[in-house]
Amino acid sequence: MSTTVAPAPATRKTPPLEDHVIVIFGATGDLAKRKLFPGLFHLFAAGLMPEEFRIIGSGRNAPGDDDDFRELVREALEEFGRRDVREEIWEPFAKRLSFTASSAGDGEELAAAVRRAEQAIGHATRRLLYLSVPPSAMKPMVRMLGATGLVAGARLIMEKPFGTDLASARELNAVLREVVEEDQIFRIDHFLGKEAAQNILAFRFANGLFEPAWNRNHISHVQIDVPETLTVEGRANFYEGTGAFRDMVVTHLFQLLGFVALEPPVRLTPKALHQEKAKVFDAMRPLRRDKVILGQYEGYRGEQGVDPDSQVETFAAIEVKLDTWRWEGVPFLLRTGKAMAEGRRSITIGFKEPPLRMFADDGDFAHCQRPNELVFELADTPRITVDVRAKVPGPALELGAAPLTLDFADAFKEGNGLEAYERLVLDVMRGDHTLFTSSQEIERLWEISDPLLQDPPAIRTYRRGSWGPDEAIALAGKRGWRLPEAEPC
Ligand SMILES: NC(=O)C1=CN([C@@H]2O[C@H](COP(=O)(O)OP(=O)(O)OC[C@H]3O[C@@H](n4cnc5c(N)ncnc54)[C@H](OP(=O)(O)O)[C@@H]3O)[C@@H](O)[C@H]2O)C=CC1
Ligand SMILES: O=C1O[C@H](COP(=O)(O)O)[C@@H](O)[C@H](O)[C@H]1O
């Protein structure tokens, strides 16, 4: 039994954007290739870029001349993009692309290239500077942007993780304050740009149905689960300095937890949302070492660029508790890891059983006793499922599992629906901070994480292609993790 309903594509038009000169630092890196250039290309093809724009790639090492860089971008679009690279779209996009090398110690040539691009457009333009570089490079790069004047009137996107602990996050915030105003800074966490993440807010606050039940009286647990089949292939340099907890937990998983747990904001403005999210993080109890399982997949130490004695975790599962009236006693279970059995990103809201089990003796139903669950799938084509129990048609009063599914796949056909980076880069061009994170939130999350990171539990080995260490499976208790999915009844 299931029902699928696809909401109609959005038709609302947005106001025209200012013309832009965009600089991508880390333009030869993994993120730029996988997401940023394909995202910018999609925005262009969908008519969502400004009338006039230039994109300047930058990094310490040039891939060659501008044509070599364009070739690199084109290959990235062909490998990772979600639309065909048709000549009539590629040609005008490519002519707006160039590369100028820069480093923390030398940004003069880049500053000159930006000024030339602005002059070529010929009238007032907005600068967008995207720091897609490792955390260790952020502080010196920000200083360079200040020293060269590149930050003047610019909007600055800071990739995650923002620092690697509380002290470094505070230092980075302090350096930023020396060179830019707060409203110029966009601390990105791309999970908040995913359609399904925003749908948590829509579900909760645009319906009368869910919010009354959104509390400890009705919800028994929440799971935020992001297993990945990817290994750290090609990213060992970055990953050895971060690990799963800094890469995913302190960033994406905690931010999603913030959306699930926050109190209704007075309105949907950046300030109100950030305030409510910050209150959730304030209410987080210190993490218990016995409720944190860290793992490393077999063979990680043999990956190119990985220390043969590496103690870096590629897996983390933790239980978080919140000291609030709404959530007292409700465990939030978070899990993520590389080289796991499946690649999924899901948030499961597990509801309590009805007080009276009238149907409890139904033998056929006994193997699928999972209570109601509301599941947000944060896939590229998002899906929301409400698992209910219903009567199976027939002469007897037999129960079966009935998933009610909202499938957004159609909205993601060319032109409709934006992937996270597309949406967030567009928001930056509009100057909208709603889906970005604040310095207060980030510092608090490091404050919660620091004791654990300074004295982590032992790392357990897990098999590639598995669901992580056994201890992590046990962490979810008798109800278990929703993934791998229970057999339908
Ligand atoms: N890859 C992904 O899936 C995601 C990545 N991110 C974030 O994006 C950022 C970049 O990640 P990713 O692209 O994977 O990393 P990569 O290691 O693939 O690329 C990093 C880029 O930054 C440049 N770089 C490296 N070190 C320095 C330095 N010291 N100073 C200046 N530039 C430097 C490199 O170019 P050069 O050496 O020429 O300077 C390279 O182009 C990270 O903060 C990461 O957390 C966020 C979400 C997803
Ligand atoms: O930030 C990161 O996210 C990706 C996962 O993002 P997704 O949108 O593909 O789900 C993760 O693979 C990477 O390690 C991390 O840096």
Residues 273 and 305 in one domain: yes
The pLDDT of residue 370 = 78
Closest residue by CA, ligand 1 atom 33: 133
- For the CA of 160, the nearest atom of ligand 2: 1
Q: What is the pLDDT of residue 459?
A: 97
- Containing H/E element for 58? strand 53-58
The last residue of one of the domains, among 128, 152, 187, is: 187
Are 241 and 348 within one domain?
yes
Neighbours of 170 (CB within 10 A): 16
479 marked ligand binding residue: no
Are 164 and 158 spatial neighbours (Cβ–Cβ below 8 Å)? Answer: no
Question: Is residue 12 a part of any domain in this protein?
Answer: no
- Let me know: does 441 contact 279? Beta carbons within 8 Å: no
- Is residue 178 within 8 Å of 146, Cβ to Cβ? yes
Distance of CA 26 from the midpoint of ligand 1 (Å): 5
Q: Are 155 and 208 part of one and the same domain?
A: no
Return the residue whose CA atom lies nearest to atom 13 of ligand 2.
Answer: 247
Counting as low any pLDDT under 70, the low residues of the chain are 1-14, 360-369, 413-416, 486-489
Q: Is 29 annotated as a binding residue?
A: yes
CA-CA distance, 129 to 135, in Å (whole number)?
16
Please tell me the pTM assigned to this model. Answer: 0.94
Quick check: is 433 catalytic?
no
Q: How far is the CA of 405 from the centre of ligand 1 (A)?
A: 37
287 and 386 share one domain: yes
ipTM of the complex model: 0.97
> Do both 242 and 390 map to the same domain?
yes
Which of 138, 166, 187 finishes a domain?
A: 187
| Residue whose CA is at the smallest distance from ligand 1 atom 6 | 31
Please tell me the distance between residue 29's alpha carbon and the centre of ligand 1 in angstroms.
5
User: How far apart are the C-alpha atoms of 322 and 285, rounded to whole Å?
Assistant: 6
Ligand index nearest the alpha carbon of residue 196 = 2
For 440, phi then psi, to 5°, come to -65, -45
Q: What local confidence, expressed as pLDDT, does residue 1 receive?
A: 45
The CA-based diameter of the chain, rounded to the nearest angstrom, is 80
Residue 477 Cα, ligand 2 centroid: separation in angstroms?
A: 27
**At 343, which CATH number?**
3.30.360.10
DSSP string, 11-34: ----PPPPPEEEEEETTTSHHIII
Catalytic residue of the set 20, 252, 274, 433: 252
**Shared domain check, 352 and 469:** yes
Number of structural domains found in the chain = 2
The pLDDT, as a whole number, for residue 367 is 47
Please give the residue range of the domain that contains residue 283.
192-479
Query: Is the same domain home to 149 and 251?
Result: no
Beta carbons of 241 and 133 less than 8 angstroms apart: no
**211 marked among binding-site residues:** no
Q: What is the best residue among 164, 190, 231, 347 to mutate for testing ligand 2's pocket, by most ligand atoms within 8 Å of CB?
A: 190
Whether 398 and 266 share a structural domain = yes
* Per-residue pLDDT tens digits for 438-464: 999 999 999 999 999 999 999 999 999
Instruction: Mark whether 434 and 386 lie in a shared domain.
Output: yes
